[in-house]
Amino acid sequence: MKPQLRFVFTLSIAMLLLSIFVRSNEVLAANPPLPVEEYWSKLAEIHDKVMGLESENVESNQAQLQQLADEWQQITVVILADRSTMAVDHSYLVAQLRATPPDLPRLRAIVETLRATAQNWPATPHTSEDIAALTPILDRAEFQWQVEQPSLFWRLVSRVVRAILNLFARFLPENSVTSVPDGAISLNVELISYIITTLSVIALLIILIYLSRNIMAEFAGQAQLNLDQGNGDELLTADSALERARTLSSSGDYRTAVRYLYLSSLLLLDERGLLRYDRSRTNREYLRNVAHLPQLAGILREVIEIFDRVWYGFQELDETTYNRYEARVAELRKQK
């Protein structure tokens, strides 16, 4: 892989990882975890409110339910008694709370089920008193340590990330960027994360397309021409190869005719000293030989591409297409 391509690939991966980091921080900042005790309290609260709604007060009910939906949509993570976290999904509950008109019997069944879950929740193995007893133990010297400062490498990484964010900030709307006293930049996190993710995906797609095209070109270029195989030791010339192509095309064998047309072109260019014909050479090497002659290289590239598709790719060829190829070869033979 070329150094420039390796740099672009590395940068795109870094941008993608940065976007994932930014998005995760964004979610945590928007929806802070809720202690489990508060979660049970809110569950009892919504149970009482839903059970107290009257079917006749539709507008009042809908306003209260919308407020509850907004509140429960924000609850995505619960902190358990052992300080571990658990993700919770209230999307179905929120959808029922926002339904128009509200289905009160269904909502009552949902909150009853949630209350039953709360009542059957296993007891905490350790009480707050148990955890409090650990505090003096953890305060001992053997459990104390200094927080390790970031290494020089990570400080440099931080500066690079800040420079990238500053670069993106120049192309963002004014309300997306806010200056702070220490010189850092506070960005619209959601907008930045989408930009970084999009650019990373685009960069990766470009790299994959570039690599796939290079791989295909390598396979085509490394296939040896061997145009004159199967003909014994007969030594062809440009004119004899051209004559054989005409004979084959007259009999309808356009694929083999294309082969000899291409061979006659290479032999003619060899006779004129424009390139050196050798059975062991590849099509890409022939193109490199004439790279200093742009007009010749352009015609030869087109002739080679058609030859590769017909000879190696077994592309179907009719008389009209063959005649166009023969015309391009004739134009190539005029080059000096």
Q: What is the pLDDT of residues 168-221, one digit of tens each?
A: 667 665 555 444 334 444 444 455 556 667 777 788 888 888 777 766 655 544
pLDDT of residue 18: 61
pLDDT of residue 7: 60
In a domain, residue 164? The reply is: no
Instruction: Indicate the pTM of the whole model.
Output: 0.34
Q: Which two tokens stand for residue 268?
A: 């003619």
In a domain, residue 128? The reply is: no
- What's the number of domains the chain is made of? 1
**CB 43, CB 118: distance < 8 Å:** yes
Kindly give the pairing relationship between strand 185-187 and strand 177-179.
Answer: antiparallel
Query: Closest Cα to residue 26, out of 172, 190, 140?
Result: 190
- Give every residue of the chain whose pLDDT is below 50, as ranges: 27-29, 177-189, 220-233
Cα–Cα distance for residue pair 264/242, rounded to 1 Å: 5
The boundaries of the domain holding residue 306 are 238-333
In a domain, residue 263? The reply is: yes
In a domain, residue 313? The reply is: yes
In a domain, residue 127? The reply is: no
- pLDDT, tens only, 64-101: 888 888 888 888 888 887 778 888 888 888 888 888 88
In a domain, residue 296? The reply is: yes
pLDDT of residue 229: 45
Residue 252 to residues 256, 261, 318, Cα–Cα distance (Å) = 9, 14, 9
In a domain, residue 257? The reply is: yes
pLDDT of residue 180: 38
**CB 286, CB 300: distance < 8 Å:** yes
Q: What is the CATH number of the domain that holds 324?
A: 1.20.120
In a domain, residue 283? The reply is: yes
